Amino acid sequence: MTLSEPIIRLAAKGDGVTVSGRHIAGGVPGDMVDAAGTITPGPHHIAPACRHFGVCGGCLLQHADDTALAEFVEGRVVNAARGQGLEPAVLLPVHLSPPQTRRRAGLHGLRTARGAVLGYREGGSHRVVDLAECPVLHPALAALIAPLRRFVAAHGPKGMVGIDLTLADQGVEAGLMHFPIEGLGPTEATLDFARDQGLARLTIDQGYGPETLWEPEPATVTLSGVPVSLPSGAFLQAAADAERVMVADAAEWLAGAGVVADLFAGLGTFAFALRGGRKVLAVEAERAAHLACKAAGAMIGGRVLALHRDLFRSPLQPEELNRFDAILLDPPRAGARAQVAEIAASTVARVVYVSCNPSSWARDAAVLAEAGFRLAKLRPVGQFRWSTHVELVSYFER
């Protein structure tokens, strides 16, 4: 007789975990697994949405339904908080981005004897999955997979090329890396491709940084009603729906704050959302993003002021922070250890912390808690649908 046991949760890397602690690839909570590792699907185990599931390294959780996905996202965030002794006063519902909403993607292309392959890398490998579909991508990006494959087959170099796609207001921006274009014929073919596909912009990086070959009008991205110049390779939240949820939370939680500092501001995703009835200082180290935010802020009357500063090397000091009624920060995955230490030493009483890494966020949150802040509100966000990448937006007050 073979003994079976239930899978009770998903681990950080997407494996199912049984009552006894066994990690089972492909299992989800509610499944049963026997001693040999054979899975009997439970109520939350569904058919994957993509034919490449199991090979492509992009999505690891397509076999989990929305209930299991939401529990996974919530668990990653809440467990990180509890690991630092933190418990949110209010835990808000998880936001899951729906399929076909991803507005930026990084693909790989390789010319072959039979044409070209184009897609994501296989899990744990450098091989490229030749995409026939991608249900996470916005349709405007997905529609470019086949044309890009033909273009790489006709004009690509011998080695691997990188392809970054971003949805701008004017259409899709495409950036080709490690992709030399030499001579009149290839250059004209590249321009024809951009024109035929209606690209908002096409840049080529031949090893010296991105060069714009095609841009009929300046590419922009609208942030809370403000068109902001979109530098090549600039950071955007992966899905517009998740951005709207996080922006709305931040605006609600910071109601009544007259002067706000938006740290690690990027293009101004949160700064422009917070501008109504207040002044916002948007601080960013990446020069192109800073200049785009600065120009857009000037166009709307100066409610958003931009400051170029590296907050890792030169965080705002307590005497600077004390001028603000509230702080919002949205740092990279490494978190904001140095800046959070200065916030803890300031008199600021309200902080919104947006994070793409629950572990570094929890570490920084513990510093705030030690300084007298309480974790008032917390929302887990799963904007990278079907992946193990989890985000959050949080509110601290003291």
Active site residues: 356
For 80, the 3-state DSSP assignment is helix
Q: Which residue has the tokens 């517009």?
A: 240
**DSSP per position, 128-184:** BP--S--TTB-HHHHTTHHHHHHHHHHH--SS-EEEEEEEETTEEEEEEES----SH
| Burial profile 21-50: b = 16 or more Cβ within 10 angstroms, e = fewer | eeebebbbbbbebeeeeebeebebbeeebb
CB 131 within 8 A of CB 52: yes
Nearest CA to 53 among 155, 131, 116? 131
Residues in contact with 44: Cβ distance below 8 Å, sequence separation at least 6, in sequence order: 28, 29, 30, 31, 64, 65, 67, 68
Strands of 4-10's sheet, edge to edge? 23-24, 16-18, 4-10, 32-34, 39-40
Task: Give the number of other Cβ atoms within 10 Å of residue 192's Cβ.
Answer: 12
Beta bridge partners of 283: 263, 307
* Structure tokens belonging to residue 48: 């994957």
Nearest CA to 394 among 329, 312, 311, 325? 329
* Structure tokens belonging to residue 171: 């259409």
Beta bridge partners of 105: 165
For 294, the 3-state DSSP assignment is helix
* Structure tokens belonging to residue 292: 């785009």
Q: Angle 184-196/145-155 helices, nearest 10 degrees?
A: 170
